[in-house]
Structure 1
Amino acid sequence: MSDSSQDPLRSVHTTSFPQLLDQIGASLLVTTYQAGKLVVLRHDAGILNTHFRNLNKPMGLAREGGRLAVGCSVDIWEFHNVPAVCKKLDASDDYQSTEAKHDVCYLPRRSHCTGDVQIHEMAWADDKLVFVNTAFSCLAVRSDENSFEPTWRPGFIQQLVPGDNCHLNGLAVCDSQVRYVTALGETDEPGGWRENKRNGGILIDVDSGEVITRGLSMPHSPRWYNGKLWLLESGEGTIGTVDLQTRKYESIAQFPGFTRGLCFYGPLAFVGLSQVRESAVFSDIPLVDRLKEVEERTCGVWVLNIETGETLGFCRFEEGVQEIFAVEVLPGIRFPDLVNQDTEIVGSSYVLGDNVLAEVPKDLRA
């Protein structure tokens, strides 16, 4: 077990956690809207390098190629990888590492103001950024002129109103299309999902509009992976699969926290856990009944072998972070960074098309 006790956002981790990242040649991005941070988890000389970037209530993450989108309080930020900047980071005292060299640097490229639509999960689907617009109970995309363009909503939602009626929250992409979504209730009343949050959760087929599974406890993070439909039954603190023939959810593992945020790499599942305090939102759910004391509930990222059900390691946040929303694995990227508030680096890094680079002096080209 290792720790970072000098950090005000203190975390501890099993020695296996950075070893696993090193073995698979990857890193992780984690959002915590409660702390206003994007967390970068990276292997560096045998330890876990836990790196924080400030954002305004970051929630959903979506990555495709060199593009990374982050859904925030009232806007969506899109960052692009600019590899040439990595040398600047390696040479700067502000971007220290023990041995690792930066291999990806995300710089801001586009911001779109949505207003407070309570953005939850996001994904690139058929080259469009689709996001869950929880306030308006719909899926939406960005617009050049408007706050958003709605693309789909559940059949039981009759009007486009900002009432968070069913708490639509998660989406799963299959064959480049959003195919499944999760919601915490099947209701068309403002905030109506709260009345039966203990077991009112549902899984919906987007194409048909049919509710596939009912009776779930606060489901989140549906994913289509290796020919199976996975999701997190957050109110139970579990991960499992839904059999599309029987329409039943079957858990394969249970954790000491509110499961939310899920990604896969090979046989590994990276699962986000939130501590969840007793509140109007989280009271009267099975997880709170099972773990009576707040101290028993954990916040962090757990690594699970989905073939054996064995926990292989974890990173647990001890202070400063109580809730996690998204977890995104970056395959083939060992030591990334996201630069959004360093005005010197952002201001002096120019990205130009190949057609005009020929007009730039050679000594200025990266």
Structure 2
Amino acid sequence: MRRTYQTMLLGSALDTSALLPPSPMPLGEAQFCAPADGSWCPVVYRMTGIGWLAEFGSGLIDGALKTVLILAVAIVIRLAAHRAIARVAKGVGEGRAPALLRPLRERAGHRLLGSSSTLIERRRQRAATIGSLLRSVASFVIYGTAFVLVLGEFGVNLTPIIASAGVLGVAVGFGAQNLIKDFLSGMFMMLEDQYGVGDVVDFGPASGTVETIGLRVSTVRDIEGTLWYVRNGEITRVGNYSQHFSIALVDVPVGHGADLHLATEVAARAAREALAEPPLADELLGEVQVLGVQSVNAEGLTLRVTVTTRPGHQVTVRRALSEAVATAFTEAGIPPPARPSVTVGA
């Protein structure tokens, strides 16, 4: 009986041993590191034996590992974004724009694409500029997000930083609204391809040939050689003489006694003969048209002659037309307009 009772007591002792708490960590380590917290604190404490260094090192190692992971992910995403942007920009420069960017294609006419090295180079430069801008924006957004995440991992309170950044952004926005306006206008100008380097444009206050295009300022050289710096935000309208086609227009004055039928035939024949040979013939995109009487005044009549030309070549063709028609009228004996009479007072 006594042996049976002792056996029962021994079995109870064996069963309750599993309920006892695990052996505690060393006393010094328990003061600084929470048990089973999954951090590096116990490891650092066993290596150094310094409590404060164990606490600080645990947070530092955990934050460093997470920072490395965040930066690695950010770098991979940035590389992927840059490669995708470069591929799209290369396709746009070669005339293979994706369906999403087809509304932003260049404004040049299809008859001119591929036949002019100037237009091909302009398209390539535009694609390179837009690609560079998109890569800069992607890098700023990706690295900015990674920076905020890294600060959060080190326990930095982001609320005051975000609030301060918002207030600073509003202040900068009010103070630099003209600069922001210029940059936004430049971005939309390049995306919409309103004009490019080499185009002859009219900005209103300044007109001439575009020499450089930037996100903030565009430069135009006028016919007298003056270089104008025009802020993109101040451009309210753009007249582009270099897109699709141009029209050479000549108004030829004749006297009231002229035979209009003969004058029309002479003007048409002279214009066709003047533009029949290269290099002027290479600049034409249509046939010469004599539209007839454009205006009537006290001195005489005005006949209008037009022809469609390649973009930017209308001035050369117009000068040749004016010279040829004026010479033909003189040879055919078509009277010029009468000189206005001058009355001298007594």
TM-score category (smaller protein): under 0.3
Structure ranking higher in helix proportion? 2
The normalised TM-score by structure 2 is 0.22
The normalised TM-score by structure 1 is 0.21
Structure ranking higher in strand proportion? 1
Higher relative contact order (CA 8 A, sep 6+): 1
